[in-house]
Amino acid sequence: MTDRSEAILPTFDDVIVAHERIKPYIHRTPVLTSRFMNELTGAKLFFKCENFQKAGAFKVRGASNAVFGLSEAEAAKGVATHSSGNHALSLSYAAGQRGIPCHVVMPNTAPEAKKAAVRGYGGLITECEPSTSSREAVFAEVQSRTGANFVHPYNDPRVIAGQATCSRELLEQVEGLEAIIAPIGGGGMISGCCLTLSRLAPKMEIYAAEPEQADDAYRSFKAGRIIADDAPVTVADGLKVPLKENTWHFVSRYVTDILTASEEEIIEAMKLTWQRMKIVMEPSCAVPLATILKNPATFRGKRVGVIITGGNVDLDKLPWMNG
């Protein structure tokens, strides 16, 4: 899939419908502030804590919107995806809430803990070899056998509309925000921010934060076309995937800038957040704070919304352990 594929875009009406639809299945997550972090950065930071979200991440918003938007006939066949991360958990959770099957194709090399987590939410795992060709073949087989509805982790307009409810809530919770910053991987969350803010707060700056070692979105943004990396290596393992046409549409039009941080800066910011704010969050969520600390002049004096995207972390493999 390239940036020449035709984008299928959600509208802001879809966001309103999504928000009504998913409300029974998600938390309206709290917004935390920290005097320490404000003094450190010179900004006024408002942390939107999707680590406290159902299934541990914002992904449940988009997954629930897709699942609960299906007709009865569609729903009966279930949903399917390929993911070994938060999307797999979230889709399994949402399907469980509707009482329909969720098929998840995962590489047989995925850690046992991740498989157990997906199964814990009721997901039905089919294993594939750890290659794109095997994943596609196995996924095609699962889908043709079950007729399940494919819910892409981020390039699906239903998913983008669902993720857009996060920034909509944040606007309701905090007055006078001047900027928002979120991590960027495939671009689902950032696209949701763009969709909401371009309608409700068009002057607000939108920053995407990315690991230097997986900076395909940064390079795409500068080049004006999607550049995909093969196999980036970063502790922020939720952010390795490339942009696709639907998310590129939003990123290329509405994002103010993409900022990057090194692995060391990400780990330092993650540790600092755990120490000072006492919250458990994934390495991906630390990328925004790392870039704020790296670019103080961009944020100083501003009221900035910071999306903490998820809290599903392997406590036995924290990034500062083996470093």
Q: With respect to its own copies, which residue has the nearer C-beta, 73 or 321? A: 321
CB of 155 to its own copies, least distance (A): 27
Distance CA 100, CA 119 (A): 14
CB of 286 to its own copies, least distance (A): 13
CB of 29 to its own copies, least distance (A): 10
243 contacts 226 by C-beta, under 8 angstroms = yes
C-alpha closest to that of 57 among 82, 88, 24: 88
Q: With respect to its own copies, which residue has the nearer C-beta, 30 or 147? A: 30
Q: With respect to its own copies, which residue has the nearer C-beta, 57 or 197? A: 57
DSSP 47-65: EEEGGGSGGGBTHHHHHHH
CA angle (56 as vertex; 314, 244 as ends), nearest 5: 95
Distance CA 267, CA 283 (A): 7
Q: With respect to its own copies, which residue has the nearer C-beta, 174 or 279? A: 279
91 contacts 67 by C-beta, under 8 angstroms = yes
Interacting residue ranges for its own copies, rule: CB under 8 A: 30, 51-52, 56, 271, 274-275, 277-281, 311, 315-316, 318, 320-321
CB of 134 to its own copies, least distance (A): 31
Q: With respect to its own copies, which residue has the nearer C-beta, 105 or 277? A: 277
Q: With respect to its own copies, which residue has the nearer C-beta, 25 or 248? A: 25
191 contacts 107 by C-beta, under 8 angstroms = no
Q: Which pair of tokens denotes residue 55?
A: 């299934």
CB of 279 to its own copies, least distance (A): 6
Distance CA 229, CA 40 (A): 34
217 contacts 187 by C-beta, under 8 angstroms = yes
Residue located via tokens 């035709």 = 6
CB of 271 to its own copies, least distance (A): 6
